[in-house]
Structure 1
Amino acid sequence: MLKMYKTWPFSSGACVALLLGTGPVYAAGFGPADPLRQLDSVPPTAANHMVDTAPGADGCAGNSRVDLTLLEIVSGALCHNPKTQEAWADVKVQAAQVGVSKAAYLPTLNGTLGETKDSSTSRGSSSDPFVVQSNSHYQSAALTLNWVLYDFGARSASVDYAQSKLASALAGQNTALQQVFASTVKDYYAALVAQKDQQATQEIEANAKQVLDAATLRVSHGVAAVSDQLQAQTAYLQASFNRNKAQGDCLAAVGQLAIDMGRRPNMPLHLHDSSDLATPDMTSTDSVDELLKTAQQRHPSLVAARADLDAARANVRMVSAQGRPTISFVGHYNYDNQPQSSGVGQQYLDDTVRDRSVAIQVNIPIFEGFTRTYQVRGAEAQVEGKEASLSDAELQVASSVWSDYQSLQVGTQNVRTSQQIYDSAQQAFDAAQARYAKGVTGIVEVITTQTALANAQQQKISAFADWQNARIQLASSLGSLDLGSLYPAL
C-alpha cells in the first residue's frame, strides 16, 4: 500500500485578523507586522527625538562635516553610537513581549488541510482467491478554536509584567543616552582643552621668540651678557617642545571624539566653540536638597529599578495565577472524505464524514508536585532582590548628585580665580618686557613672568572646561540631560 500526503496548515495570525475584522499590513512571509499596534505605541528612538527637537542639530542628517559645534557632536554620537542602537533594540523586544501578553486574550484558531493519494492491492488465499485493486484520492480538513474565557488573573498579571519590563527598557534606553551624552561631552571638553592648549602654546612660543630676539639684540649691542641670550634660547626651545607635545595631545583627543561619533579617528575634525570664557553665573542654581529630590524622582536608573520591582511583583501574581483553573471555549470542525471498505477484499466506497463540536472546557490543576510552591517562593525572593537593588540605586544616585554638585561649586570658584590669575600674570609679563627693553631688569624676570603667564593661560582654559563638564555631569546625575542643557545662560 502506497500513500502520499500533503498538508497546508493555516496561519493562526491570519485567522485572528479575520476574527477581529482588521486588515493589517503584512510583513513579507511572516504574517501581520504589528496587528495589536504595540510598536506604534512606543515613541521613536530618543536619540532621533532629541536631534529632531534641537534647533540647528543635524547629527543624524550627515556624518561628514569637519567644523562641528558641541550640539552637532553630541547629536551625532547619540545617532551613531552602538550603545544607543542596542538600547532601542531592547525597547522593541519588550514592546513585542507586551503584544505577546495581550494576544493571550484573543482566541487561537488552528487549521489543517490534507490531501492523500492511496493505491492498494488486496490478494486472497488459495482457497478463496481474489484480487482487489484500489486507487483513491481524498482530502481532509480540520479547524480547532480555543478561547480562554477566564483564568483568575494570569493574563492580566502577564500584561502587567510585560508593561513593567517595557518601562524598564525605556528607562534603560534613557540611561544609555545619558551615558553616551555625558561621555561625549567629557571627551569634547578634553579635546577642546587640548585644542586651546595647542593654540596657547603657539602664542607662548611666539612670545618666547620675541624675548629671544630682544635678548639677541641687546647682546649684539653689548648691553647684555651672552647668558641672557642663552637663557632666552632655552626658554624658546622649551616652548617649542611644549607646542609639539600639545599638538600630539590634541590629535589624540580629537580622534577619541571622532570615535564617539562613529567616525574613524584619522578623519579631520575641528571643534567650533561657541562659548566664551566669561565667568559663569550660578545664582539660579537650586539647593543641593532640591537637586537630590529631583534626582530621586526622575533619574532613569531609578525609574528602571522601580519598573523592575513592579515587574517582579507582577511576576509573583502571574506565577501564582498559573496554578489556578482556566475556563475556555473550545470549538472543533473536521471534514474527511476517505473511502471506506466493508471488509477485506471488498471494494472501497466513497464516504464523507463531517464532525462538529462546541464545548466549555475547565482545566483544574490538582497536584503539580510542589512545583508551583517553589516557583512562587523564587518569584518572591526576586522581589526582595529588586527592592535591595532599588535602595542601592537610590544611594548611588544621591552620591553622584552630591559629588557632582560639589565639583560644580569648586569649578565655579576656580573659573573666577583662574581669570584673576591670568590677568595678573599678563600684566606682570607686559611690565617685565618693558623693564627689560629699558635695561632696568634682567632676562630672568622676563622668563619667569613668561612661564607664569603660560601656566595661567592653560589653567584658565582647563578651569572653564572643567566647569562646563561638571555642569553636564550634574545634569546627568539628575537625569535631566538633554540637548537644551548644552546652552545655559552664563
Structure 2
Amino acid sequence: MPFGCPKHSRKHVFVAILGFGMGVGAWAQTPTPPLSPPSAAIDLTQPPLLVDASGVTSQGQNLGEPCRLQTPDHPVRLFDAIRDALCTDPKTRQAWAAVQVQAAQLGQARAAYWPKLDAALQFNRDHAASTVTGQPQFDSNVGSQFRTQALSLSWVLYDFGARTAAAHSAEQLLLASRYSLDDTLQTALLKTAKDYEAALAASAGLDAARDTARTAQESLGIARARVQQGVAAISDALQAQTAYAQAAADETHAKGTWQTAIGALAIDMGLDPEAAPLQLQPLPAAAGESSVAIGSLHAFLDDAKRINPKINAARAQHLAALAHAKAVRDAGLPSLHFTWKYSRNTQPVTGLGLPSFPADAQDNFVGIELDIPLFDGFDQDWKMREAQAQAREQGQALIDARRQVMHGVWSGFEGYKTATADLGSTRTVLAVAQQSLAAAQKRYQLGVTSILEVLHAQQALAKARQQQIQALTDWLVARLQLAYAVGSLGQSVETQGSVP
C-alpha cells in the first residue's frame, strides 16, 4: 500500500527518511543486535595451537599455507610435536576455514538489518521518426541524447522477528563450527599424542632389549669362564650363547619397531621420515608414580557435559535448527518496508508534429509498503514442515552425542584406573625379576645352581621389562584417552605430568 509525495526537495526527503525510519524502527522493531559492520561485529580469534614452528602466533602469517618445518636438533617434547602437527595438519586448517565461512554467513544475516541503497546511471541516445498518412504537417523526425540518474533506498522496518531468528540461527551455526574446530583439534592432538607415546614406548623397548642383550652377554661370559675352569659342561656355554643370540635378534627387532614409530611421528609433524631421526625428551623416571587421586566418575561426566566439543557442537546445531524453523515460520508473516526513490533525467519533451524541447525532469518518491503473503501454493507450509523436521533431527543428534560421550568417559575412566593399577604391579614384578637374576648369576658363579636357572631368570627379567614398558604406555594413552573423552585434552597436554 504505497503512497507518493512527488517533487519534494531532496533536503526534505532525507530529513523524512531519517526521522521516519528511526521513529518507526524504535516503535515497531523488536530488540536486535547493534547495527555495526559485520567485519567489526564478528571477532574470530585464531586457535592458539595453529602457530608456526617457533611458537609465534599466527598474526601476519598466511594461514592458507602450511608451516614449513625442519627436523629439530634438540629433544622434542610432546607439546612441541603436537604444535607442529596441528600447524601442518590440513584437517585443522579446513575446520578453521569452515569457521570463517560461517562467520561470513552470520555477517550476511546481520546485513538484513541495514537499509539497502542503490544507484543507477543511464546514458541514452534516442531517434524517433513517425509519418502520418495524408497529414505531413504532423510528421516528425527527432534524435536526442539524454541521461538519467536514480537513487533508491529500501528498509525493512518490521518483519515479526524473521531477521532476528535468522541471525540467531547463524550465530548458533558459527558457535557449532567453533566447537567442531575444537573437536578436530583434539582429534588430531590425540592421534599425534598416541604416536608420540608409541615412539617413547618403542625407544624404551629398544633400551630394554639392549639391556637384555647385555645381561645375556654377561651370563655367556660367566658360563664360558666356568667351562674354561672345568667346573661346567660345554652345554652351559652353548645354552648361554643361544640365549644371547636370541636377545640380539630381539634387539634388532626392537630397533625396527623404534624406527617405524619415529617415522610415523615425523610424518605427523610434517617432517621427512627419512631425515635424521627425531630425539624425544625421555619421561621422568617417576612417571606414573604420582599418588594423585583419579577423581570421581561423576565429576568427569559433569565436566564432559559442560565442555565436550561434540556435545556443545550438537547443542548449537539443535538451537540453530530451532531458530531456523522460527525464521521460516516468520517469513510467511506480513512485513513493513520503507522506500524512497529519487530520479532525474534530461530527456527532451516532444509531441506529435512538434519539435523536441530540452527538459530537466526530477521525481521524488517516499512510501511505506505492507507486504501480506496470501497464497503461495503451500510452499511456505512445506518449508515449515521441513525446518521442523530438521530441528527434531538435530535434537536426536544431540541425544546421541551425549550418549557417545558418556560411553567414552566411562570407558576412559575404567581404562585409566586399570592402567594405573597395572603400572604399579609391573614395577613390583620388574624389581623382583632384577633381584632374582642377580641372585641366580651369583649362585651360578658359586656353582650351587645350573645355567638353566640363570636363563630362566633372564627370560623373566626380559618379560618383566616388556610388561613394564607396555603398562607405562597403556597408562599414558589411557590418560590422554580419558582427557579426550571429557574434552580437556589440550589442557592435559600442556601439563604432561598431571592427571587429566
The residue that corresponds to 1:35 in the other structure is 37
One-letter code of the match for 2:44?
A: V
CA contact (8 A) 2:51 2:87 kept: no
What is the alpha-carbon distance in structure 2 between the residues aligned to residue 132 and residue 266 of structure 1?
A: 89
1:210 paired with 2:212, answer no
Are positions 1:253 and 2:255 aligned together? no
- In 2, distance between residues paired with 1:475 and 1:174? 14
Instruction: Report the secondary structure of 1:144's partner residue.
Output: strand
- Say whether the 8 Å CA contact 1:414–1:463 is kept in structure 2: yes
Match of 2:26 in 1: none
Tell me what 1:163 maps to: 171
| Residue 72 (structure 2) pairs with residue 65 (structure 1) | yes
One-letter identity of the residue aligned with 1:160: H
Match of 1:10 in 2: none
Give the 3 Å change call, closer, same or farther, for CA 275–139 of structure 1 in structure 2: farther
1:403 matched to 2:411: yes
SS in 2 for 1:47: coil
How big is the alpha-carbon RMSD for the aligned residues of Structure 1 and Structure 2?
Answer: 2.9
For the residues of structure 2 that align with 1:63 and 1:161, how far apart are their CA atoms? 44
Shift of 1:52: 7.1
1:237 aligns with 2:239: no
Q: Matches of residues 66-85 of structure 1 in structure 2 within 5 Å? A: 66=73, 67-85=75-93
SS in 2 for 1:176: helix
Maintained 8 Å contact 2:345/2:361: yes
Change (3 A) 1:126 1:316: closer
**What letter matches 1:231 in structure 2?**
Q
Question: When you count strand as a share of all residues, which structure comes out higher?
Answer: 1
Structure 2 CA distance for partners of 1:369 and 1:134, relative to 1, 3 Å: closer
Alignment of 1:442 onto 2:444: no
Name which of 155, 167, 173 aligns with 1:147: 155
Question: Counterpart of 2:322 in 1: which secondary structure?
Answer: helix
State the 1:49 CA deviation: 8.3
1:265 matched to which residue of 2?
273
Distance 2:283 2:383 in 1: 59
The residue identity in structure 1 corresponding to 2:301 is: L
In 2, Cα distance between the equivalents of 1:225 and 1:455? Answer: 27
> 2:336 corresponds to which residue?
327
Give, in whole Å, the separation in 2 of the partners of 1:463 and 1:165: 43
**Structure 2: where are the runs of 5+ without partners?**
1-20, 22-35, 58-65
CA distance in 2, matches of 1:235, 1:299: 51
Amino acid at match of 1:269: L
State the AA in 2 paired with 1:459.
Q
The question of 1:177 aligning with 2:185 is answered yes
The residue correspondences of 1:82-101 to structure 2 (distance < 5 A) are 82-101=90-109
**Displacement, 1:334?**
1.6
TM-fit CA distance, 1:423? 0.5
Aligned partners of 2:139, 2:224: CA distance in 1, in Å? 128
Q: Which residue is 1:3 aligned to?
A: none
Partner-residue secondary structure (3-state), 2:38? coil
What is the distance in 1 between the residues matched to 2:317 and 2:164?
Answer: 17
1:307 aligns with 2:316: yes
Contact 1:39/1:92, CA 8 A, preserved across alignment: no
* Equivalence for 1:364: 372
Letter of the 2:340 counterpart: G
Q: TM-score, normalised by structure 2?
A: 0.83
Contact kept? 1:101, 1:158, Cα under 8 Å:
yes
Q: Deviations 1:289-325 (Å, cap 9, x if unpaired)?
A: 2211221122111111111111111111100000011
Deviations 1:111-161 (A, max 9, x none): 121223457888999996999886644322221111000001100000110
Change (3 A) 1:82 1:275: farther
Relative to structure 1, the CA distance from residue 171 to residue 411 in structure 2 (aligned partners, 3 Å threshold; closer, same or farther) is: same
CA-CA distance at 1:280 after TM superposition: 2.9
Partner of 1:199: 207
Distance 1:189 1:39 in 2: 43
**214-223 or 180-189, larger mean C-alpha shift:** 214-223
Question: Which secondary structure does the structure 1 equivalent of 2:149 belong to?
Answer: strand
- Cα deviation code 1:149-191 (max 9, x no counterpart): 0001100000110111111111111111111121211111111
Q: d(CA) in 1 for partners of 2:177 and 2:374?
A: 37
Give 2:302's match in structure 1, choosing from 277, 293, 297. Answer: 293
- Following TM superposition, by how much is the alpha carbon of 1:349 offset from its aligned partner in structure 2, in angstroms? 3.7
Shift of 1:101: 1.0
Between 420-429 and 249-258, report the one with greater CA deviation: 249-258
**8 Å contact from structure 2 (residues 409, 485) kept in 1:** yes
1:20-65 deviations in Å (ceiling 9; x for gaps) = xxxxxxxxxxxxxx93235752322242489779xxxxx9795541
Aligned-partner Cα distance in 2 for 1:249–1:384: 50
- 1:120–1:134 Cα contact (<8 Å) kept: yes
Q: Deviation of residue 340 (structure 1)?
A: 4.5
Contact 1:339 1:349 (C-alpha < 8 Å) held by counterparts: yes
Q: Does the CA contact (< 8 Å) of 1:142 and 1:332 recur in 2?
A: yes
**1:30 alignment counterpart:** none
* Structure 2 residue aligned with 1:373: 381
Distance 1:352 1:82 in 2: 62
- Provide the C-alpha distance between the structure 2 equivalents of 1:252 and 1:296, rounded to a whole number of angstroms: 38
User: How much does 1:473 deviate?
Assistant: 1.1
Higher deviation after alignment, 133-142 or 366-375: 133-142
Check the 8 A contact 2:121/2:148 in 1, yes or no: yes
Shift of 1:90: 1.2
Would you say the 8 A contact 1:327–1:361 is kept in 2? yes
**Equivalenced residues, count:** 453
**1:89: how far off?**
1.1
Question: Within 2, Cα distance between the matches of 1:282 and 1:435?
Answer: 38
Q: Secondary structure at the match of 1:482?
A: helix
Which of 401, 417, 431 does residue 393 from structure 1 map onto? Answer: 401
Assess if the C-alpha contact under 8 Å between 1:277 and 1:464 holds in 2.
no
Which residue in the other structure is 2:60 paired with? Answer: none
* Alpha carbons 2:201, 2:469 under 8 Å: kept: yes
Contact 1:157 1:314 in 2 (8 A): yes
State the partner residue of 1:27. none
Residue 489 of structure 2 corresponds to 481
Q: CA deviation at 1:217?
A: 3.0
